[in-house]
């Protein structure tokens, strides 16, 4: 089917409206009355008040398309086909109303129904929890999925410690052997494994137990359904693109970036990563600022600052040396206008915030460069030819200089960089971050990366980046 992302989003909401769900608007990315959460990171995050019983909804059936931010996926962005820091989660929810059977029926009808998305049924497979016989039987007998496409997976259990918990079932789309893996039953390749072939599109959570303080599980009197499907992923399946970034949600941003760059998309793998990271981060920063967050040195603002700087650094790899992120805001606004008119409406404000922040960052970089040259001069005077690791770290930590950048300048001056010394400082910093990190439940876990995000805010295309970074 030929559908635009705007049509897919609308179709999802229309489908569940037809199934008697109340349509909730996409709530602000900045959580309200929820100090445990830095960003809204899923559809259910804005509906907690219904799930924990504080508020009884007028209609126990709810659907939404929810803006979400997950910074814990940042090191995947640009490398996998499917991860973003900002994405939209399509969800349907039942607060003590329908349960497994309807949830599975709805998902299947929406994905495969001819008047809906109409995906080829043979491309779909699912995972269930090994003890969730009920879900297994529903997929096999009610839906008619062959057994080899129902995979039992231990991880399919949603548990955040004390409180509601339960098994989940996830729906995967087989993108074909071109994306690797021939055998769907190979544990390395099957749905749920880390691969690019079987794309997880939808997660249905069956909240049916209470996790008691003594670690026993008892059935909940009122069972809930919580589902989430990434709009970008579904659209990539429908529009048949290699990654989410070639869909109509991202490609116009990449095209606009090309106009400012010295290369084009698809020229090389490394520069493609840069285009993708920029296209990802611009959406995150644009929507976050539109929802009232501002770059700063702590909390949410710190995340925005890091994301923006990260994008600026990647931009250097494609020859963009001047403030530019702000120029992409109108494109984001235009892509999202049908459902999020606020971005277009606040575009001047968002652009101002970004431009100011980018200019400041360029100044900081300039300052860092001066310091770098001073250190080189001093060391030279002492007859040294080694650039101290401590200083590499200081430039990185205070002036945002990736070590690779420092290394380039250092070598230009005929110096060597004290790499081991730098790594030692990095290890100390990670230790500090780890100690500072609090124990968090799975709702919060998305935000624990806050302390890590510093680590990976460097240039890409360098392998140490991906291995060095802890992902929550």
Contact range with ligand ATP by CB under 6 A, out of 78-86, 290-298, 339-347, 449-457 = 78-86
Per CB under 6 A, 228 contacts ligand ATP: yes
Site string for ligand ATP, 173-212 (x = CB under 6 A): ---------------------------xxxx---------
Binder of residue 346, out of ligand ATP, Mg ion, none (CB less than 5 to 8 A by kind): none
The pairing of strands 217-230 and 86-95 is antiparallel
Per CB under 6 A, 400 contacts ligand ATP: no
C-alpha to C-alpha distance for 28 and 293, rounded to whole angstroms: 10
Contact range with ligand ATP by CB under 6 A, out of 77-85, 156-164, 386-394, 406-414 = 77-85
Q: Are 315 and 324 in contact (CB under 8 A)?
A: yes
Nearer to ligand ATP, 156 or 271 (CB): 156
Binder of residue 340, out of ligand ATP, Mg ion, none (CB less than 5 to 8 A by kind): none
Q: Are 399 and 364 in contact (CB under 8 A)?
A: yes
Of 11, 44, 65, 89, the residue at the interface with ligand ATP (CB under 6 A) is: 89
* Residue 209 backbone phi and psi in degrees, to 5: -120, 155
Footprint (CB under 5 A) of Mg ion, residues 135-164: none
Of 82, 211, 300, 306, the residue at the interface with ligand ATP (CB under 6 A) is: 82
Site string for ligand ATP, 230-269 (x = CB under 6 A): x-xx------------------------------------
Q: Are 147 and 156 in contact (CB under 8 A)?
A: no
Per CB under 6 A, 73 contacts ligand ATP: yes
Binder of residue 233, out of Mg ion, ligand ATP, none (CB less than 5 to 8 A by kind): ligand ATP
Q: Are 152 and 127 in contact (CB under 8 A)?
A: yes
- Measured in residues, the chain has a length of 472
Total chain residues near ligand ATP (CB under 6 A): 16
Of 71, 125, 203, 244, the residue at the interface with Mg ion (CB under 5 A) is: 203
C-alpha to C-alpha distance for 376 and 371, rounded to whole angstroms: 9
Q: Are 202 and 171 in contact (CB under 8 A)?
A: yes
Nearer to ligand ATP, 204 or 405 (CB): 204
Binder of residue 174, out of Mg ion, ligand ATP, none (CB less than 5 to 8 A by kind): none
Residue of minimal CB distance from ligand ATP? 230
Binder of residue 202, out of Mg ion, ligand ATP, none (CB less than 5 to 8 A by kind): ligand ATP
Nearer to ligand ATP, 84 or 313 (CB): 84
Per CB under 6 A, 67 contacts ligand ATP: no
User: Alpha carbon of 267 to those of 264, 311, 345, 359: distances in Å?
Assistant: 6, 19, 35, 29
Of 21, 67, 70, 403, the residue at the interface with ligand ATP (CB under 6 A) is: 70
Which residues make up the interface to Mg ion (CB under 5 A)? 200, 203
Which residues make up the interface to ligand ATP (CB under 6 A)? 70, 73, 82-84, 87, 89, 200-203, 228-230, 232-233
């Amino acid at each position: 089917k030929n559908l635009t992302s705007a049509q897919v989003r609308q179709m999802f909401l229309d489908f569940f409206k037809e199934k008697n769900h109340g349509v909730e608007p996409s709530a602000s990315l900045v959580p309200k009355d929820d100090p445990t959460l830095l960003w809204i990171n899923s559809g259910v995050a804005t509906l907690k008040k219904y799930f924990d019983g504080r508020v009884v909804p007028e209609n126990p059936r709810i659907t939404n398309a929810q803006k979400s931010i997950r910074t814990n996926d940042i090191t995947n962005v640009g490398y996998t086909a499917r991860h973003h820091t900002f994405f939209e989660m399509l969800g349907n929810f039942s607060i003590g109303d329908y349960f497994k059977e309807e949830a599975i029926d709805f998902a299947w009808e929406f994905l495969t129904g001819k008047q809906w998305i109409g995906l080829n049924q043979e491309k779909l497979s699912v995972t269930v929890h090994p003890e969730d016989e009920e879900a297994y039987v529903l997929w096999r007998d009610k839906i008619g999925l062959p057994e080899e496409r129902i995979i039992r997976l231990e991880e399919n259990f949603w548990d955040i410690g004390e409180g509601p918990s339960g098994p989940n079932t996830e729906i995967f789309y087989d993108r074909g052997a071109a994306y690797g893996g021939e055998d769907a039953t190979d544990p390395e390749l099957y749905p749920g494994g880390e691969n690019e072939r079987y794309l997880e599109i939808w997660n249905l959570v069956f909240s049916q137990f209470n996790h008691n303080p003594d670690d026993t599980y008892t059935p909940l009197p009122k069972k809930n359904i919580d589902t989430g499907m990434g709009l970008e992923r579904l659209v990539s399946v429908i529009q048949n693109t290699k990654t989410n970034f070639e869909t109509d949600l991202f490609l116009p941003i990449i095209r606009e970036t090309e106009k400012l760059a010295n290369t084009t998309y698809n020229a090389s793998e490394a520069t493609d990563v840069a285009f993708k990271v920029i296209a990802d981060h611009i959406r995150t920063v644009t929507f976050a600022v539109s929802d009232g967050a501002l770059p700063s040195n702590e909390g949410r603002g710190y995340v925005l600052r890091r994301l923006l700087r990260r994008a600026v650094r990647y931009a250097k790899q494609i020859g963009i040396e001047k403030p530019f992120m702000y120029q992409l805001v109108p494109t984001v606004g235009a892509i999202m206008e049908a459902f999020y008119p606020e971005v277009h409406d606040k575009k001047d404000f968002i652009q101002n915030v970004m431009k100011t922040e980018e200019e400041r960052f360029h100044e900081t970089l300039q300052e860092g460069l001066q310091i770098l040259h001073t250190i080189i001069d001093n060391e030279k005077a002492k007859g040294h030819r080694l650039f101290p690791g401590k200083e590499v770290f200081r430039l990185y930590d205070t002036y945002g200089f990736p070590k690779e950048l420092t290394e380039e300048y250092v070598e230009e001056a005929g110096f060597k960089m004290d790499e081991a010394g730098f790594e030692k400082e990095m290890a100390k910093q990670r230790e500090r971050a780890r100690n500072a990190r609090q124990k968090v439940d799975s709702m919060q876990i998305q935000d624990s990366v806050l302390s890590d995000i510093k680590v990976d805010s460097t240039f890409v295309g360098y392998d140490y980046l991906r291995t060095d970074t802890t992902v929550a």
